[in-house]
Structure 1
Amino acid sequence: MALIPKLALRQAQSLVMTPQLMQAIKLLQLSSLDLAAYVDKELEQNPLLERIEPSEQRSETAEPAAPESRTAAADGWDGPTQAEAPQLTMDRLDADFGNVFPDDAAPAAELPKAAAAEPGDWSGLGVGGAFSGEGGDIEAYVAERATLGDHLERQLAIAVADPADRLIGLHLVDLVDAAGYIREPLETISERLGSSIEDVERVLGIVQTFEPTGIAARTLAECLAIQLRERDRFDPAMRTLVENLDLAARRDFAALKRICGVDDEDLADMLAELRALDPKPGHAFGSELVQPVVPDVSVRAASDGSWLVELIADSLPRVLVNQSYYARVVRTAKNEVEKTFLTECLQTANWLTRSLEQRARTILKVATEIVRQQDGFLTYGVAHLRPLNLRMIADAIGMHESTVSRVTANKYIATPRGVFELKYFFTASIANADGGDAHSAEAVRHRIRIMIDAESPDDVLSDDTIVKLLHGGGVEIARRTVAKYRESLRIPSSVQRRREKKGMAATT
């Protein structure tokens, strides 16, 4: 068979993941806070993008601006059209971008008052005599957020004067983790610093007297012991209780009473004191800020008994593309590099507005279908939660499962029963013993909790008994599944619950 060159024409279909498409997929799974941070970054880099603030209004003293053609970024359902866009223009647009594309020199009458002031006029100066048209930056006066390490180092500088001991103390402070514990053995620390184990233990004892109480402990028992000493409650009985925390975790109250030499009332008081202590004192100085949950969708009841699903506008960034500004500055471009930069900025801005609009519409579409599927939950509660998976939603709205998965990730919905993550409504199904509709796993967990909460000290339900009761209610479930659901609810076993309930009954 001879090998000869030839030309052939073929036609084929393929899916190409362009950078824009990959970025759109990334935007789809971002939370509202992460999306706001991404849009803020784009606003800093792209001069053709402008933010629409909810309370933004045109200043009465500003001169009428020329009509501008803009492309509105969607908040999903009520974004401004191009005809409405001039009403949403930002004030002093030329001043905002004048440093990037300077126009002719401004007349002296338009200069800021501070720039045209007399030599003796200091009204336009900020703090320290530096010129500032709007005065000093208030953020410069905000107190620094103290960290756990900074807090301990300040106390170390006061408590320890010897340079060698202070060096050991600084090293120990660096080893304190976010929970407030030192996990590394003292022998390793002593060998690393070239000091004796006695010196390390002595400095550690000083550090353990710092605030918050219980800091720099090596174990949970030591942390609780430090806090009890501070309260002058570390007597022999309490010491024995702290040394046998494993028995307290197993709720073996009979063994605890025997080794501590106390009665039921004293043991109950001692356990109450332990519960009042802080097992992780370092968390008072958490290094990471806790991000609040911001709902993306809200659900409210309509007058006709249905449910109204709406996007929350405050959680969706809204931006505009300034087409007129682009048309003006592209004419003044001096070379192809500047024209290419402006063209790329325009393409990126248009893509971002379309992606935000598509993202909002997709979230609303998925949330609406979830509400339709879980109508019983909104009306009657968690006991009526239906089994639901991604495929059911994807088939109903004509999307792929991966798209639904990205939409429901890190998104929250505000309902009359509270704020829930969209993924909360996707639960596994448990077969019906009578052949009827399947039960939701979350609803079965709820039934297990209700059963256990209603049990009496003389009739504690075992896992086998719960299985029988659920079978009587039409739920086909195995014992190991009941044990798994009970552990996920952090409910102890029937033996531990029986000990705890009898101990509580004896104290009362």
Structure 2
Amino acid sequence: MNFNMTLTQEQKLVMTQQMQLSVKLLQMSSNELLEYINKEYAENPVIDANYEKDLEEVKMQDKYDYKEMIKYFEFDNYGNQSFGSYDQDEVSPFTFISTEKTLKDFLLEQIMELSIDEFQRTICKYIIESLDARGYLDISLEDILEELNISQEVGEEALELVQSLEPTGIGARNLIECLEIQLTKRGYGNEKLYTIVEEHLEDIAENRYAQIAKALNVTPKEAQEYGDIIKTLEPKPSRGFYTGEEVKFIIPDATIRKIDGEYFIIMNEGVLPKLSINPMYKEILNGSKDNLARDYVKQKINGAMFLIKSIEQRKSTLYRVLEKILEKQKEYFDKGENYLKPMTLKEISEALDVHESTVSRAIRDKFILIDRGTIKIKDLFTTGIAGDNGEEDINTIKIKNEIKKLVDSESKEKPLSDQNICNELNNNGFNISRRTVAKYREEMGIKSSSKRKRF
């Protein structure tokens, strides 16, 4: 064994932290970028952020002065005030704080209204707290009996009480029980419905009503009618209730508007706060004799300057991409989605003389506002197929719309097969294969002809 030195030469890309940050900011959505700026603003003291406030917010601040609100903190019971007087000067701002009602809140309110003793109510509350996000009881009743040290009879009675609450189907231990609870509450007494739920749910999903009919000794049409009733039931009782997650609204990064016959790209400047460097720190940098303080401020100013520059570069890159999209898709903005031309990331990247990945990052999770509403920029990039002229001039959205029209107008007793749809499209000038039809149909969530058939 020995030590020696060798000299090698190689090419590789080394990304500095600043380059990594620039790439990271480019692919952020508006919401993500706003969160990132808020974090940097909190951590970097040299950054000044001008958050333009909404007019209504300013009015509320005039109405409830912050200094006036402080006095309410002098009490232990500041949020629990008397409603005897409605004088504006005496109303606590905490009176107006409200929260979304969750499914468990809704169920607990119903339990409080039941005429049961406190012992039963406590067991019911325990069961409610044990429900999963769907509203199912996903732990066994035996485990609950053991944990609470109660009898089988008491536990089943409490579970029955929970299952009697709204929304119907709550507290079920599986899908079958959930659907059966709903059938019972709706007053369906036909045993065939319960048999289908217990033994033929998969057949309903696959539209195999001939098999169900044979098993129940009914006609396929009757079996399908039973299936239609079961499809009206809710497999997820918690649907529609607040889950604890805040709704994040889509913020368009830009607006494309037609003014006097010409399209303009208007970047949404109001989404993000306007960042600048606090002048006090510039004075420290120029006048302080403390080297440590100067180095610290210099580091923070460099970080702030690069953040501001990266945000501007992100905006500039997105604007240039939108310019090229507008040039390519002018007919789409004029006439609608049927006129969307096939367009790829490579096409735009070559026109801008940038890497394809740069365009991909620039449009990631970005939205624009147009006359027809808010759209995702990525949805404007589609592949195409050859038309009658042999060129790739027909976009996939147009083909999907044609497939949907054919399916919507078909005979429900004899739905069109993929081959029939393919033949119709080719007769109308589309050069498309049966496999492509099947692919697009599945992407749109349209079932196959055998599963669309009505008896």
For 2:47 and 2:146, how far apart are their aligned partners in 1? Answer: 58
1:43 partnered with 2:33: no
- Of the three residues 344, 361, 369, the one matched with 1:414 is 369
The residue type paired with residue 401 of structure 1 is E
- Of the three residues 250, 254, 266, the one matched with 1:310 is 266
Q: Is the 8 A contact 1:241 1:256 kept in 2?
A: yes
Distance 1:348 1:231, change over 3 A: same
- Of the three residues 196, 199, 205, the one matched with 1:249 is 205
Give the structure 2 partner of residue 427 of structure 1: 382
- Of the three residues 74, 78, 86, the one matched with 1:129 is 74
Give the structure 2 partner of residue 24 of structure 1: 22
Distance 1:426 1:196, change over 3 A: farther
Distance 1:271 1:422, change over 3 A: same
SS of the residue corresponding to residue 248 of structure 2 reads: coil
Give the structure 2 partner of residue 483 of structure 1: 438
SS of the residue corresponding to residue 276 of structure 2 reads: strand
Pick which of 180-189 and 445-454 moved more: 180-189
TM-score, normalised by the number of residues in structure 2: 0.78
Give the structure 1 partner of residue 337 of structure 2: 382
For 1:357 and 1:232, how far apart are their aligned partners in 2? Answer: 63
For 2:94 and 2:359, how far apart are their aligned partners in 1? Answer: 41
The residue type paired with residue 47 of structure 1 is P
The residue type paired with residue 248 of structure 2 is Q
Q: Is the 8 A contact 1:225 1:242 kept in 2?
A: yes
- Of the three residues 111, 131, 134, the one matched with 1:176 is 131
- Of the three residues 242, 254, 257, the one matched with 1:300 is 257
- Of the three residues 197, 201, 213, the one matched with 2:168 is 213
Give the structure 1 partner of residue 59 of structure 2: none
SS of the residue corresponding to residue 238 of structure 2 reads: helix
For 2:204 and 2:355, how far apart are their aligned partners in 1? Answer: 50
User: Paired residues, what number?
Assistant: 429
Question: Which segments of 5 or more consecutive residues in structure 2 lack a partner in the other structure?
Answer: 56-66, 79-88
Distance 1:498 1:145, change over 3 A: closer
SS of the residue corresponding to residue 392 of structure 2 reads: coil
The residue type paired with residue 328 of structure 1 is E
Distance 1:260 1:20, change over 3 A: farther
1:358-369 matched pairs, under 5 angstroms? 358-369=313-324
CA-to-aligned-CA distance 1:189-223 (integer Å, 9 cap, x gap):
66787877666544433332334332222333432
Q: Report the Cα offset of residue 290 of structure 1.
A: 2.3
CA-to-aligned-CA distance 1:381-439 (integer Å, 9 cap, x gap):
22222222211111111111111111111101112222211111122232346523342
Q: CA RMSD in A?
A: 4.2
SS of the residue corresponding to residue 413 of structure 1 reads: strand
Q: Report the Cα offset of residue 492 of structure 1.
A: 2.3
Give the structure 1 partner of residue 399 of structure 2: 444
Higher relative contact order (CA 8 A, sep 6+): 1
For 2:446 and 2:104, how far apart are their aligned partners in 1? Answer: 36
The residue type paired with residue 127 of structure 1 is Y
Distance 1:136 1:335, change over 3 A: farther
Q: Is the 8 A contact 1:382 1:446 kept in 2?
A: no
Pick which of 12-21 and 212-221 moved more: 12-21
Q: Is the 8 A contact 2:284 2:294 kept in 1?
A: no
TM-score, normalised by the number of residues in structure 1: 0.71
SS of the residue corresponding to residue 353 of structure 1 reads: helix
Give the structure 1 partner of residue 356 of structure 2: 401
Give the structure 2 partner of residue 107 of structure 1: none
Give the structure 1 partner of residue 236 of structure 2: 280
SS of the residue corresponding to residue 164 of structure 2 reads: coil
For 1:196 and 1:125, how far apart are their aligned partners in 2? Answer: 53
The residue type paired with residue 21 of structure 1 is M
Instruction: Give percent identity, aligned residues only.
Output: 31
